[in-house]
Amino acid sequence: MGLGIYSIVLIVNSISPHAVGIWSAYAQEVILRDFLAKETEGTGRKVSLTLVNDPFPLGRDFETGLQSIEGFLMAFGIGIVYIIVSPSLLRNVVEERELGLKNQMIVSGVKLPAYWLGHYVKDVCFGLILAVWIIILIAIFDIDVAYAWVLLLLGVLAIPPFLYAVGFMFDKADNSGGAVTFYMFLFAFLGPIAVFILQLIESTRDVAVPLKWALSIACPQFAVVSGVMFIAFK
């Protein structure tokens, strides 16, 4: 940059087009600073330079992709919640049968429908609290998963009967916890990812659609997580 002659060499990276404008502005700032320093040398004048950096707006495709990733991560979070919560809901039912508490209540005059209704109301209330918290988080972080709240509320109603039916497969509460945790990991976490990938590939799309419906019937948690995931990538 000597003698007032300036040369700029610009190497463009095709995957970072935004860097062209930013680096160009920086190079022009350096040249202007050098020019002003020479112009004011020996004159005693003070010159100030202000740079206003206005970032480029995000493109529509980038914003859409970012929203999809956020929805995808939210679906992961919901799957993790089901992995943690489902075994505890199931354990209560199995433990009461293992300790003979269920039989004692029936002998004491509690009707069987009332017994199951009491469990159902309790578990629905607990699930409703979790669903409301998830809906609040979706609203706070402004995640674009329209009508995901419908899936969450339907899951609150559908999951307890499913767990009660699974509970008849176990005689020990300790065994039920580990088995259901593994079951939730397969169907509520890995299952939606696998079906989503199969549906992205054109050659396996015909397999993914019936598989998605079959897994939704076999596990309502899968239906909720998979539904939120597909809403995010609508």
* Tally of residues, the chain: 234
What integer pLDDT is reported at residue 3 of this predicted model? 46
What would the pLDDT profile of 188-207 be if each residue is shown by its tens digit? 999 998 998 888 888 888 88
For the chain, domain boundaries: 1-56, 60-232
What integer pLDDT is reported at residue 1 of this predicted model? 42
What would the pLDDT profile of 21-78 be if each residue is shown by its tens digit? 777 777 777 777 776 766 555 555 555 556 566 666 777 777 777 777 888 888 889 9
Phi, psi dihedrals of residue 185, rounded to the nearest 5°: -65, -40
What integer pLDDT is reported at residue 196 of this predicted model? 87
- Token duo for residue 191: 């299952």
What would the pLDDT profile of 75-96 be if each residue is shown by its tens digit? 889 999 999 998 888 888 898 8
Percent of the chain's residues with pLDDT above 70: 82
What integer pLDDT is reported at residue 122 of this predicted model? 92
Tokens 């918290």, residue located: 133
**pLDDT higher than threshold 60 for residue 15:** yes
Lowest mean pLDDT of 5-9, 83-87, 116-120, 207-211, name the range. 5-9
What integer pLDDT is reported at residue 13 of this predicted model? 67
